[in-house]
Amino acid sequence: MDEHAGGRRRADPPPWSPPLQLPPDDMLLEILLRLPPEPIHLFRASFVSKHWRGLVHDARFRRRFREFHGGTPPMLGFFNSCPGAPIFVPTSGGFALSTANMSLDWRALDCRHGRALLHNYGTRTLLVWDPMTGDERYLPFPTRAHLENVHYNGAVLCAAGHTGHGDCHSCPFLVAFVFSSYRYCITSACVYSSVTGVWGEITSIHTPDSLVDAKPTALVGNTLYCLLSNEDSIIEFNLDKNSLDLIEVPYGGNFIITLAQDGPLGFASVDRFSLHLWSRVASIDGVASWEHIRVIDLEKLFAPQVLAACMDRMWPVGYAEDANVIFIHVYPRTYMIHLKSMQIEGILEEATGWSIFPYASFYTPGPGITTGGGDDQVELLNGT
Ligand SMILES: [Zn+2]
């Protein structure tokens, strides 16, 4: 029978196609390189197969990945020093930290170069914690700070020589500790090295009527800046020279230290419903002075009922220089303001306006990342 003249035509067999093949490694690496910078994406890719995991975990690939994304790690969340609030709050999907077993006595002091610095006032102990790798290092306060009744602040940073801050997780670290004695009107500082395992020599400066404040610090080069409680000066700790100095601030009030994206020291303050940003600039003759660089009208950002409810209890509590985000407490909530897009996000419902320390990192193999729930991660791990 002529199948074209009345009979049903048999279906043509499907065209032959070659077996599905995964792309060669060069092409695959180019695809992986273009995944978004948040760690969850490379984390998921690492579970496709052992071969993919080898590619993703390769140090050269992860260096290329950081470079491809401009070297600026994405913000994954923030630590905070508010009693009663979760010590870590994620802001990026797929990243969570288990702090359930951590005593409530632990609070955050700093976060920088992929590590967090926590302190326990009761035991006078510091903890340097790498949330991505899970590494922990406990260290005691410097002896003099342990024996006296002191106000203190601290910072964790990569050891000298680690420029660019690519893979900070494997780098030796320093802890800078600044403390003020109630009795002697003296502020002192010293540095702990993870290589030597000891605190270095203590340097001191006379700070009458003022104590170091445990608000966020700023690091410019190898110089650390901390606020003093008199709220009109900043203490400058030069780690290379092991020396302290004081910088006056042309503003008396509740402010935080910031860093402009191109590096100079700055500070942010709130006056009524205006956010003021200042930057320290050097003149031709080398004399540094403060320059008022920006005023942001907060009445245009927040709803009238939010401003009315806060009863003027509004002040900055943290700053993320890479993300160009400032954290502001507007009683009773805390908000993130993206200074480029001027978008605002509420992040803490009931907080008392304590300090916030943003945490940012690229993917590093370790227990810090989840797919959103512990069970999912266990399933993924068991399936490989
Ligand atoms: Zn580093």
Which tokens go with 341? Answer: 């897009």
The structure tokens listed for 215 are 């608000």
Interval between CA 326 and ligand 1 midpoint (Å): 23
pLDDT in tens, 49-107: 999 999 999 999 999 999 999 988 999 999 988 877 778 888 877 777 777 777 778 89
| pLDDT tens sequence across 207-255 | 888 899 999 999 988 899 999 987 778 999 999 999 999 998 887 678 8
- CB burial of 23-37 (b: ≥16 within 10 Å; e: otherwise) equals eeeeebbeebeebeb
Query: How many whole angstroms from 134 Cα to the centroid of ligand 1?
Result: 17
Beta strands in 159-271 (DSSP E): 173-181, 186-193, 203-206, 218-220, 223-227, 233-238, 243-248, 255-259, 265-271
Which CATH number is associated with domain 72-360? Answer: 2.120.10.30
How far away, in angstroms, is 72 Cα from ligand 1 center? 12
Q: Pairing relation of β-strands 203-206 and 218-220?
A: unpaired
Query: How far, in Å, is the centroid of ligand 1 from the Cα of 362?
Result: 12
Mean pLDDT of 189-218: 93
Map out the domains of the chain as residue ranges. Answer: 25-66+368-382, 72-360
Give the pLDDT band of residue 376 (cuts 50, 70, 90). Answer: very low
Q: How close are the terminal C-alpha atoms of the chain, in Å?
A: 56
Tell me what percent of the residues of the chain surpass a pLDDT of 70: 87
Q: Amino acid identity of 296?
A: I
Per-residue pLDDT, 235? 95
Q: Where are the alpha helices (H) located in the chain, listed in sequence order? A: 25-33, 39-45, 50-57, 59-68, 143-147, 304-310, 374-382
> Closest Cα to residue 177, out of 149, 202, 160?
202
Residues within 5 Å of ion ligand 1 by Cβ? 113, 158, 162, 165, 168, 171
